C-alpha cells in the first residue's frame, strides 16, 4: 500500500493518484487547504490597497473584553476615493514599502543633520566675529545651497 505523499513532489502524487483514483476528493481538499495556508503566508492579514489611488486600509478588530486589537481580514470594503475594490497587500509589497519609507527617512535625517551642521558652523563664525550675520542669514535662506542626500540606490526586495 502506497503512503499518501505529504510534500510537493509531483511524481509521488502522480503515482499515488494512479493507484488510488478514489482519493481525488481527498487530494482536492488537501490542495485547497494548502492554497489557503500559502495565502495566509503571502498576504499581510487585514491590509488592503486601492490599485488606482494607492489608498491603504488596515482592517482591525478591537476586543473590548481583553483590550487587544487583532487583524480583521474580510474582503468587500471599497476605496473611499474611487469606490473600487481593494486588493490584498502581499508581504513583498509591504516589505518594499517599508524599505522605501526607511530610505526616505534616512535621506530626511541626512538632510536635517547637514542643515544643523551648516547652521552650527554659521553660529560659530558669527560668535567668533569672522562672519557677517546678514550674509550668513542670506546663505541659510538660499535653498539652492542646501546639501543633497547621497544616492542610497534602490531599496526593493527581489527574488
One symbol per residue from 35 to 54: x for binding Zn ion (CB under 5 A), - otherwise; what is it?
---------------x-xx-
The residue (of 57 and 155) whose beta carbon lies closer to Zn ion is: 57
Nearest CA to 31 among 17, 44, 19, 50?
A: 17
Q: Which of 55, 73, 90, 99 contacts Zn ion by CB under 5 A?
A: 55
User: Residue with C-alpha cell 567668533?
Assistant: 128
Q: Does 4 interact with Zn ion (rule: CB under 5 A)? A: no
> What long-range pairs does 1-5 form, CB within 8 A, spacing at least 24?
none
| # residues near Zn ion by CB under 5 A | 7
Q: Does residue 133 contact residue 141 with C-beta atoms inside 8 Å?
A: no
C-alpha distances (whole Å) from 31 to each of 41, 103, 121 are 15, 40, 66
The residue (of 51 and 133) whose beta carbon lies closer to Zn ion is: 51
Nearest-angstrom CA–CA distance, 102 and 133: 36
- Provide the minimum distance between the beta carbon of 69 and Zn ion in the complex, in angstroms, as a whole number: 25
The residue (of 18 and 83) whose beta carbon lies closer to Zn ion is: 83
Binding site for Zn ion (CB under 5 A): 50, 52-53, 55, 79, 81-82
Amino acid at each position: 500500500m502506497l503512503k499518501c505523499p505529504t510534500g510537493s513532489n509531483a511524481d509521488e502524487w502522480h503515482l499515488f493518484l494512479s493507484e488510488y483514483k478514489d482519493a481525488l476528493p481527498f487530494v482536492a481538499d488537501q490542495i485547497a487547504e494548502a492554497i489557503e495556508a500559502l495565502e495566509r503566508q503571502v498576504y499581510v492579514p487585514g491590509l488592503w490597497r486601492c490599485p488606482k489611488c494607492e489608498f491603504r486600509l488596515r482592517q482591525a478588530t478591537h476586543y473590548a473584553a481583553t483590550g487587544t486589537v487583532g487583524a480583521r481580514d474580510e474582503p468587500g470594503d471599497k476605496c473611499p476615493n474611487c469606490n473600487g475594490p481593494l486588493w490584498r497587500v502581499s508581504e513583498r509589497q509591504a516589505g518594499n514599502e517599508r524599505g522605501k519609507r526607511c530610505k526616505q527617512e534616512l535621506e530626511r535625517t541626512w538632510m536635517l543633520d547637514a542643515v544643523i551642521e551648516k547652521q552650527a558652523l554659521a553660529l560659530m563664525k558669527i560668535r567668533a566675529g569672522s562672519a557677517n550675520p546678514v550674509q550668513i542669514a542670506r546663505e541659510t535662506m538660499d535653498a539652492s545651497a542646501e546639501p543633497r542626500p547621497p544616492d542610497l540606490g534602490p531599496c526593493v526586495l527581489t527574488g
